[in-house]
Structure 1
Amino acid sequence: MTGPPLTMNRVIHAAVRRDLERLSTALGRMQDGDRDRARALERAFANLRTELTHHHEGEDTHIWPMLARVGVDGALLEAMEGEHHAMADALAVTSLDMATVARSGSAADAAAARASIERTRLVVERHLQHEENELEPRLTPHLGTPEWEAVEKKLSRQPPRVAGRFFAWLTDGISDEHRAFLRTAVPAPVVVVLARTFGRRYYRDVAPVWRA
């Protein structure tokens, strides 16, 4: 039995899940007193928070209003927006916990930060599943319509540094299946040029965190 069709949304969700798993694992393995490692993990979390926040701001600003205009249940859209706020709150708390372990490098603070990551992970996963199971089926009939194409155009208007960071992050550890899908959505040379030219800071500051 095949699963639901891939979408760009699901590819992004997979990257979010990947990083939360990476962070939890890395914090669990961190040695007591390793402040360099703790600071590196704080940078990686900050990058994830930036990408997830940007993704949800795009949905709140462009996708939900379009769906409201075509008659999608307003209560569902309100629930989506409320879940975005809950995730923002959870991410803010975890950011403080990551800053604490970055300052101390202690095993105790690493354990606390890992617990915080896991709490945030639950909040995020609850939303991702809700969106994939309830919202995406209501969006799918509108893909390819003029209304959706207008939304896609707005979402694609990103400064090169934002797009470059996004593609560098998205493709760092991406599965073969998701990479193949990405090529159908964005020409591979565009992804490579943006990531390698404008995503260099990600490759310098974040990608090495996962190779350590």
Structure 2
Amino acid sequence: MSTSMENQGKPITTHDMVVVHRMFRREFGEAAGRVRGVRHGSRAQVRLVAERLELLLDTLHHHHEGEDRLLWPKLAERRPDQGELWKRMRGQHAELSAHLARAGALLGPWAAAGGSTHREELAEALDQVSKAAGDHFDEEEREALPLVAGVVSQGEWDEIGDAASAAVPKSKLFTVLGMILKETDPGEQILIMGHLPLPPRVLWRAVGERNFHRLEQRLAAAVGHG
């Protein structure tokens, strides 16, 4: 329990997880509407939506893979009295993986057909991801995160965020960063940017942020909101 002793009087910050969850809630909440709203037959528009959805599915997969590898085993070992909670968290991850796999399997054929087939199946699969993810985040934030500060060090916690950043393809890093920062206050922005090395932070301010806003405008136009 040495990590618990290290933390006494110096609680760690887990709010970055809440910020990331907020991004997933919003993006998956909009996902089915993007599939239903994109102009069918316009392959460029469909591809734009498909790229966002593929990135979103992959990012949530890596987010949970990092927790399964770096968080739940530590919590299970250090707070065995909460064994049922940790088991439930991992079970919800397994359920979400099945939903993600179903959506991913439909996404390719939908995009390849220019949005003309599998539309409603894909939209429904994304709605299932949105619902399951939202329920999981609610319980994780309410039950699990308050227990983390007592048994995980800041270094161990940061490792989870760093692993999630490292899993994002470099070409997509600013898109994911933009999605996460979209509804943040200045303090939250500092928290999230802290997981990045200095060069990407500088590049984000120089070109990344502007490019992300352009991408958002193109995406909105593709689904008839621009």
**Letter aligned with residue 92 of structure 2:** E
* CA shift digits 1:30-75 (9 cap, x unpaired): 2232332222222111111121111111111111122123215111
**Letter aligned with residue 54 of structure 1:** H
For the Cα contact (< 8 Å) 1:167–1:194, is it kept in 2?
A: no
**Letter aligned with residue 147 of structure 2:** R
Q: Offset at 1:166?
A: 4.6
**TM-score normalised per structure 2:** 0.73
Q: Offset at 1:101?
A: 1.4
Out of 19, 22, 30, the position equivalent to 1:14 is 22
Within the alignment, does 1:87 sit opposite 2:96 as a pair?
yes
**TM-score normalised per structure 1:** 0.77
Q: Partner residue of 2:178?
A: 171
Inter-partner Cα distance in structure 2 for 1:81 and 1:28: 31
Inter-partner Cα distance in structure 2 for 1:101 and 1:36: 13
**Letter aligned with residue 152 of structure 1:** W
Out of 60, 63, 80, the position equivalent to 2:68 is 60
Q: Identify if the C-alpha distance between structure 1 residues 141 and 166 changes in structure 2 by more than 3 Å, giving closer, same or farther.
A: farther
What secondary structure, in the 3-state scheme, does the structure 1 residue paired with 2:71 have? helix
* CA shift digits 1:157-201 (9 cap, x unpaired): 664965784564133361142x4323146449946236579x79x
Q: Identify if the C-alpha distance between structure 1 residues 195 and 104 changes in structure 2 by more than 3 Å, giving closer, same or farther.
A: same
For the Cα contact (< 8 Å) 2:14–2:149, is it kept in 1?
A: no
For the Cα contact (< 8 Å) 1:12–1:170, is it kept in 2?
A: no
Q: Partner residue of 1:182?
A: 189
Q: Identify if the C-alpha distance between structure 1 residues 93 and 205 changes in structure 2 by more than 3 Å, giving closer, same or farther.
A: farther
For the Cα contact (< 8 Å) 1:160–1:194, is it kept in 2?
A: no
For the Cα contact (< 8 Å) 1:43–1:205, is it kept in 2?
A: no
Q: Identify if the C-alpha distance between structure 1 residues 196 and 208 changes in structure 2 by more than 3 Å, giving closer, same or farther.
A: farther
Q: Identify if the C-alpha distance between structure 1 residues 185 and 15 changes in structure 2 by more than 3 Å, giving closer, same or farther.
A: closer
**Letter aligned with residue 73 of structure 2:** P
Q: Identify if the C-alpha distance between structure 1 residues 13 and 160 changes in structure 2 by more than 3 Å, giving closer, same or farther.
A: closer
Out of 28, 38, 41, the position equivalent to 1:33 is 41
Q: Offset at 1:21?
A: 2.4
Out of 111, 118, 121, the position equivalent to 2:120 is 111
Unaligned runs of 5+ in 1: none
For the Cα contact (< 8 Å) 2:41–2:116, is it kept in 1?
A: yes
CA RMSD of aligned residues (A): 3.5
Q: Partner residue of 1:96?
A: 105
For the Cα contact (< 8 Å) 2:40–2:46, is it kept in 1?
A: no
Inter-partner Cα distance in structure 2 for 1:91 and 1:160: 17
Q: Offset at 1:152?
A: 2.9
Inter-partner Cα distance in structure 1 for 2:103 and 2:168: 26
Q: Partner residue of 1:136?
A: 145
